[in-house]
Amino acid sequence: MTATSQSHRSGAHQPSDERSQHAIYVYGILPGDVELADEMTGVGEPPGAVKLVHADDLAALVSEVNLDSPLGTPEDLAAHKEVLDATATAAAVLPMRFGAVVASEDAVIDELLRPYHDDFSAAVRELDSRLEYVVKGRYNEQAILHEILSENPDAEQLLGRIRGKDPDATRDLRIRLGELITAAVEAKRQRDTRVLGDAMTGHCVASAVREPTHERDAAHVALLVETGQRKGMKKAVQDLATKWEGRADVRLLGPMAAYDFVTSSRPGS
Q: Assess whether 196 and 242 both reside in one domain.
A: yes
Using pLDDT thresholds of 50, 70 and 90, give the confidence band for residue 3: low
Q: Is 269 domain-assigned? A: no
Using pLDDT thresholds of 50, 70 and 90, give the confidence band for residue 7: very low
φ and ψ at 38, to 5 degrees?
-115, 155
**Residue-number span of the structural domain to which 100 is assigned:** 2-128
Number of domains in the chain: 2
pLDDT (mean) for 173-188? 96
Q: Assess whether 110 and 143 both reside in one domain.
A: no
Q: Assess whether 176 and 61 both reside in one domain.
A: no
- The pLDDT score that the predictor gives to residue 69 is 83
Q: Pick from 76, 107, 128: which residue ends a domain?
A: 128
Using pLDDT thresholds of 50, 70 and 90, give the confidence band for residue 144: very high
State the SS3 of 178-237.
Answer: HHHHHHHHHHHHHHHHHHHHHHCCCCCCEEEECCCCCCCEEEEEEEEEEHHHHHHHHHHH
- The pLDDT score that the predictor gives to residue 105 is 97
Please give the residue that has the higher pLDDT: either 8 or 140.
140
Q: Assess whether 156 and 252 both reside in one domain.
A: yes
Using pLDDT thresholds of 50, 70 and 90, give the confidence band for residue 122: very high
Q: Assess whether 22 and 105 both reside in one domain.
A: yes
Using pLDDT thresholds of 50, 70 and 90, give the confidence band for residue 233: very high
Q: Assess whether 114 and 150 both reside in one domain.
A: no
Q: Assess whether 45 and 110 both reside in one domain.
A: yes
Q: Pick from 68, 98, 128: which residue ends a domain?
A: 128
User: Which helix H or strand E contains 60, and what residues bound it?
Assistant: strand 58-66
Highest averaged pLDDT of the listed ranges 9-23, 27-41, 233-247, 250-264:
233-247
Q: Assess whether 109 and 40 both reside in one domain.
A: yes
- The pLDDT score that the predictor gives to residue 20 is 58
- The pLDDT score that the predictor gives to residue 74 is 94
Q: Is 67 domain-assigned? A: yes
Q: Pick from 128, 146, 165: which residue ends a domain?
A: 128
- The pLDDT score that the predictor gives to residue 263 is 64
Q: Assess whether 144 and 73 both reside in one domain.
A: no
Q: Assess whether 109 and 38 both reside in one domain.
A: yes
Rounded Cα gap, residues 155 and 62, in angstroms: 55
Q: Assess whether 139 and 224 both reside in one domain.
A: yes
Residue pLDDT, tens place only, 9-55: 333 333 444 445 899 999 999 999 999 878 999 999 889 999 999 99
Q: Is 266 domain-assigned? A: no
